Chains A and B, each alone.
Chain A
């Protein structure tokens, strides 16, 4: 009797297994054909940092050149944060901001320490180059390129 029960039980479990695979067979595929298809990057993805523009005056960024990010960076990746006081403006305006991405570990301390929220993470997920100097980003130039687009 147990012999027959075992056979029936086995057959049922085999059939239910086949049910699982045939369901998968007719389900849509989950593959993303990467270079041709790109999915949206998660909003909390940490790429290199980018400068955030001022809402009132898009010509300038929110940065006030206080130097907090430069001083707080644990690996000294932020270099040459310089600005000037222009006529008729209360705050300093940024003239240069170099990020050395080769040593940056995307820890986010610069983003957190910024008093005016002028820094944010970009969604640039695939930087690649044969030349190390290509990763010394000039974030101000990058911001201007973004703004003009």
Chain B
């Protein structure tokens, strides 16, 4: 009995909680990226009436593991004349904001690493950092395609971060809180997407797709013009880290959309965490659906769309919401 209490006390201490949280988040990030690579190929296949992976394991479920082993076994090349510290740092640095963002996401009423009272600010601040590591990767690679990709990414992210935040602000107005858990708790009855925030959701989602560099806004890694964009010169596990970060960013964008507009873990009958994952992965599916439907936009169209359409509409939405709340 004494041992049991000792273990409970040990788990209860802050240090152990931190370690458990880090291990849990790392495990989740890897599993999520593996599942999403599989899902992406399956969705791509079926949208083109193909089958997708099916040879490795049942329904091709072990395909990501085969890919993993392949990437681990590959030689990690360092091209000549790269800016070595920057080149080595970029794939590691792109992973940091991903890990930090998972701390504040409320998976369920009890499942949240830490409820910070400025939660959404933490996520937004750290997700802007990922642009920085994309720029480092492009700059350090000594490759014109990488550099063009990185420059495009910066321009795109600056343009789309504004509507992203403007779309989240009305929800913050309505709940008077920046803590993600408070925002979810405020949606116990009706989700915010139903409480006049449909346009905010739409703007947030579009800007989110652009933030994660997904089609139709995948100019930073446009494979038909820029080889692979900012990660052209990366191979093996360094390339895999960029992929992991991309898939985790998709998950984070969808998780925030779920938290802010779709009621987070609220839902009938099923436990909260299952509702959270259903909603989030449905949005992930929609992003993949976009990818296999829409062609890539031109660069001027991309910036025009943000500055001329998304930002004015988001500002108008913010004004109307603020006015209605004051009345």
By the criterion CB–CB under 8 Å, are A29 and B294 in contact?
no
Count CB-based A-B contacts (< 8 Å): 35
A22 to B293, alpha carbons, bound, how many Å? 9
By the criterion CB–CB under 8 Å, are B49 and A21 in contact?
no
Instruction: Assess whether B48 is interfacial by the CB under 8 Å rule.
Output: yes
A147 to B289, alpha carbons, bound, how many Å? 55
CB distance from A101 to the nearest CB of B (A): 34
A132 to B190, alpha carbons, bound, how many Å? 76
CB distance from A13 to the nearest CB of B (A): 10
* Most A CB within 10 A of own CB, among B43, B47, B294: B47
A115 to B294, alpha carbons, bound, how many Å? 60
C-beta contact mask, B39-53 vs A, less than 8 Å → 1, else 0? 000010111111100
The residue from A17, A22, A24, A28 contacting B48, defined by CB atoms under 8 A apart: A24
A141 to B51, alpha carbons, bound, how many Å? 42
CB distance from B284 to the nearest CB of A (A): 15
By the criterion CB–CB under 8 Å, are B47 and A21 in contact?
yes
Instruction: Assess whether B309 is interfacial by the CB under 8 Å rule.
Output: yes
Residues of A within 8 Å of B43, CB to CB, are: 25
A7 to B313, alpha carbons, bound, how many Å? 11
Residues of A within 8 Å of B45, CB to CB, are: 29
By the criterion CB–CB under 8 Å, are B309 and A17 in contact?
no
By the criterion CB–CB under 8 Å, are B51 and A29 in contact?
yes
Instruction: Given A17-B294, A24-B48, A29-B49, check contact A7 B289 (CB 8 Å).
Output: no
Residues of A within 8 Å of B309, CB to CB, are: 7
CB distance from B268 to the nearest CB of A (A): 26
By the criterion CB–CB under 8 Å, are A29 and B46 in contact?
yes
Residues of A within 8 Å of B49, CB to CB, are: 24, 27-31
The residue from A22, A27, A30, A31 contacting B289, defined by CB atoms under 8 A apart: A22
Instruction: Assess whether B126 is interfacial by the CB under 8 Å rule.
Output: no
Residues of B within 8 Å of A33, CB to CB, are: 51
CB distance from B199 to the nearest CB of A (A): 11
* Most A CB within 10 A of own CB, among B51, B293, B294, B309: B293
Instruction: Assess whether B88 is interfacial by the CB under 8 Å rule.
Output: no
Instruction: Assess whether A39 is interfacial by the CB under 8 Å rule.
Output: no
Instruction: Assess whether B292 is interfacial by the CB under 8 Å rule.
Output: yes
Chain A: which residue is nearest B312 at the CB level? A3
List B283-321 residues whose CB lies under 8 Å from chain A: 289-290, 292-294, 309
Instruction: Assess whether A128 is interfacial by the CB under 8 Å rule.
Output: no
Instruction: Assess whether A1 is interfacial by the CB under 8 Å rule.
Output: no
By the criterion CB–CB under 8 Å, are A25 and B294 in contact?
no
By the criterion CB–CB under 8 Å, are A29 and B50 in contact?
yes
By the criterion CB–CB under 8 Å, are B51 and A18 in contact?
no
By the criterion CB–CB under 8 Å, are B293 and A31 in contact?
no
Instruction: Assess whether A20 is interfacial by the CB under 8 Å rule.
Output: yes
By the criterion CB–CB under 8 Å, are B50 and A21 in contact?
no
A14 to B290, alpha carbons, bound, how many Å? 9
* Most B CB within 10 A of own CB, among A14, A21, A24, A28: A21
Chain A: which residue is nearest B290 at the CB level? A18
Chain A: which residue is nearest B202 at the CB level? A11
A55 to B312, alpha carbons, bound, how many Å? 83
By the criterion CB–CB under 8 Å, are A25 and B47 in contact?
yes
By the criterion CB–CB under 8 Å, are A18 and B47 in contact?
no
CB distance from B95 to the nearest CB of A (A): 32
C-beta contact mask, A29-43 vs B, less than 8 Å → 1, else 0? 111010000000000
CB distance from B201 to the nearest CB of A (A): 14
6 additional contacts, CB 8 Å, given A18-B290, A29-B46? A20-B293, A21-B289, A22-B289, A24-B49, A28-B49, A31-B50
13 pairs, A vs B, C-beta closer than 8 Å: A17-B293, A18-B293, A21-B289, A21-B292, A22-B289, A24-B46, A24-B48, A24-B49, A25-B46, A27-B49, A28-B49, A31-B50, A33-B51
Closest 9 CB pairs of A and B: A21-B293, A30-B49, A25-B46, A17-B293, A21-B47, A31-B51, A25-B47, A18-B293, A29-B51
Chain B positions near chain A (C-beta within 8 angstroms):
43, 45-51, 289-290, 292-294, 309
Chain A positions near chain B (C-beta within 8 angstroms):
7, 14, 17-18, 20-22, 24-25, 27-31, 33
